[in-house]
């Protein structure tokens, strides 16, 4: 009943011009969840809130997130949170290197032995030795090193969107489908809001340029 009441997301994120329904309307529909599922969804949203993706990592946050992951019994939920944490770890490593860090940071920030081993060994490689597992990584690194922050943000939106779209296959009318729907709703909200902020900034830049030209004239 819940999933049937929700408008369908578009296949391509950038075709979305606004969220398919407001957060108020989404929350009303989510009241159909039982108490446990509602609590689990809240925890997931708190851990995977899009704004977190840009924050610097620290060992304390990584360890707390891993503790939360290990306390989850649902493998689907555990995997989806782990994937986002790993994405954040890799992005943090790329940013550190871009800022001039010559060697891989302390192991505590990586959280997973696998990532620490790989990135320590291939720290000076553009793709950190991970492009086979993560085909999107070279493009992320290229955008980061050329300081194309807006294009990087957009590309990351697409990476996460496509990952969730793949996860949605086979999940249509279960709790996992609800999780994916809400997480994709958040990406649409962040993307459309971010896109509008860019448009406003570009408009302001044009106005400033026009004013400067008139002053110079």
Question: Which pLDDT score, from 0 to 100, does residue 51 have?
Answer: 56
Give the pLDDT mean for 192-197: 73
Look at residues 30, 122, 119, 106 and name the one whose alpha carbon lies nearest to residue 63.
106
Q: Where are the alpha helices (DSSP H) in the chain?
A: 23-30, 35-48, 59-70, 75-98, 113-121, 137-145, 149-168, 175-216
Question: Which pLDDT score, from 0 to 100, does residue 171 have?
Answer: 87
Rg (alpha carbons) of the chain, rounded to whole number: 20
CA atoms of 5 and 179, how far apart (whole Å): 15
Give the pLDDT mean for 29-46: 89
φ and ψ of 141, to 5 deg: -65, -40
Helix (H, G, I), strand (E, B) or coil at 195: helix
When comparing pLDDT for 217 and 174, which is higher? 174
How many residues in the chain? 217
Q: How far is CA 26 from the centre of its chain?
A: 20
Look at residues 3, 12, 5 and name the one whose alpha carbon lies nearest to residue 157.
12
φ and ψ of 199, to 5 deg: -60, -45
- Under a CB-based contact definition with an 8 Å cutoff, are residues 155 and 143 in contact? yes
Question: Which pLDDT score, from 0 to 100, does residue 26 have?
Answer: 94
pLDDT at 213 over 50: no
Q: How far is residue 23 from each of residues 27, 29, 52, 53, 195, measured CA to CA in Å?
A: 6, 10, 19, 21, 18
Question: Which pLDDT score, from 0 to 100, does residue 49 have?
Answer: 67
**60: pLDDT confidence band, cut at 50, 70 and 90?**
confident
Give the pLDDT mean for 84-101: 88
Question: Which pLDDT score, from 0 to 100, does residue 50 have?
Answer: 59
- Under a CB-based contact definition with an 8 Å cutoff, are residues 198 and 157 in contact? no
pTM: predicted TM-score of the whole model, two decimal places:
0.81
The domains of the chain are located at 3-216
CA atoms of 176 and 178, how far apart (whole Å): 5
């Amino acid at each position: 009943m819940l999933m049937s009441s929700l408008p369908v997301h578009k296949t391509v994120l950038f075709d979305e011009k606004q969220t398919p329904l407001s957060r108020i309307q989404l929350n009303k529909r989510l009241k159909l969840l039982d108490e446990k599922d509602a609590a689990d969804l809240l925890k997931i949203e708190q851990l995977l809130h899009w704004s977190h993706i840009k924050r610097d990592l620290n060992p304390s946050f990584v360890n707390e997130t891993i503790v939360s992951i290990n306390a989850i019994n649902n493998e689907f939920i555990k995997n989806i949170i782990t994937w986002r944490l790993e994405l954040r770890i890799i992005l943090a490593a790329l940013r550190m290197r871009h800022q001039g860090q010559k060697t891989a940071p302390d192991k505590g920030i990586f959280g997973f032995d696998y990532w620490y081993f790989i990135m320590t060994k291939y720290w000076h490689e553009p793709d950190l030795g991970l492009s086979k597992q993560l085909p999107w990584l070279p493009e992320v690194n290229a955008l980061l090193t050329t300081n194309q922050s807006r294009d990087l943000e957009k590309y990351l939106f697409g990476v996460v969107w496509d990952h969730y779209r793949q996860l949605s296959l086979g999940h249509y009318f279960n709790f996992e489908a609800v999780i994916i729907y809400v997480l994709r709703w958040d990406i649409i909200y962040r993307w459309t809001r971010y896109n509008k902020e860019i448009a406003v900034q570009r408009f302001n830049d044009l106005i400033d340029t026009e004013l400067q030209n008139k002053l110079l004239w």
